[in-house]
Amino acid sequence: MRTMLALLSLMVAARVSVVQSQVDYYGRLGVTFSTKLLRDDLIQEIETRQNLAPTLALGVSLPIAPTYTAGLEGTITSAGYYSEEQDLKTDLGTLRTGSLILNLAGPIIPRLDWRAGAGVIHYWPADEQGIFLRGGPTRFLVGAGVDYRSSLLTSLDLMVSLRYDWHRFTTDELEARNFSGSQGVQRLSASVGLSRARP
């Protein structure tokens, strides 16, 4: 009985060790460009946009097939946002976003991978005012991208990434003001960072 328990313990430990050795993790810094959050041209055209936003991305993934992985990627952005009416810009303060995406990834060519997934994005305005008077929304998000890796050290790779994602945007305050529609928002980001070296 003791022998069986010892063997079982060794098998579990070996399995955990193998899984841990296959875990891929990374961190990147970059910038994100977003299309307009809101456009109202009922009387005269008014647009609300976010500035180019510094971005932090962290991710982890595990293999699910010989050449494919499944993982989770989180990003945080923070930048000012503004409204524009007849070439007059009004600073509206700071707007942060946080997103989580479950994704699948696979190879295109050696060192270059595709990635696609879906998740959620949440808006955190520094001040609850204007279109965020009733708080920031959480929306469904879809995205895709590519990652290029180059060997840097024995245990680390240099990782360069491009990401694209899309979601619908509206807020409780806009809906309370009878804005029944929602605006499609596209985001494009470029970032560079470090990842665990691949074998």
Percent of the chain with pLDDT strictly greater than 70: 85
- pLDDT for the residue 28: 98
Strands 112-125 and 156-169, bridge-based pairing: unpaired
- pLDDT for the residue 11: 37
Split at pLDDT 50, 70, 90, the class of 22 is: confident
Terminal-residue alpha carbon distance, the chain: 38
Q: Sketch the domain layout of the chain as residue ranges.
A: 24-196
Residue 84 tokens, joined: 């524009």
Dump pLDDT digits (tens) for 53-104: 999 999 999 999 888 999 999 999 999 998 887 778 888 899 999 999 999 9
Residue 7 has pLDDT above 50, yes or no: no
Between 119 and 198, where is the model more confident? 119
Mean pLDDT over the full length of the chain: 85
Contacts of 22 (CB under 8 A, 6+ apart): 62, 63
- Range from 38-42, 76-80, 134-138, 165-169 carrying the lowest mean pLDDT: 38-42
Query: How many residues are there in the chain?
Result: 199
- pLDDT for the residue 46: 72
Residue 138 has pLDDT above 90, yes or no: yes
Split at pLDDT 50, 70, 90, the class of 45 is: low
Residue 3 tokens, joined: 């022998």
Contacts of 35 (CB under 8 A, 6+ apart): 49, 184, 185, 186, 187
Query: What would the CATH number be for the domain defined by 24-196?
Result: 2.40.160.20
Residue 19 has pLDDT above 60, yes or no: no
Number of H helices, E strands in the chain: 2, 10
- pLDDT for the residue 180: 65
Residue 153 has pLDDT above 80, yes or no: yes
Which residues, in sequence order, are bridge partners of residue 90? 83
In contact, 33 and 52? CB cutoff 8 Å: yes
- pLDDT for the residue 183: 86
| Cα(179)–Cα(73) distance, integer angstroms | 32
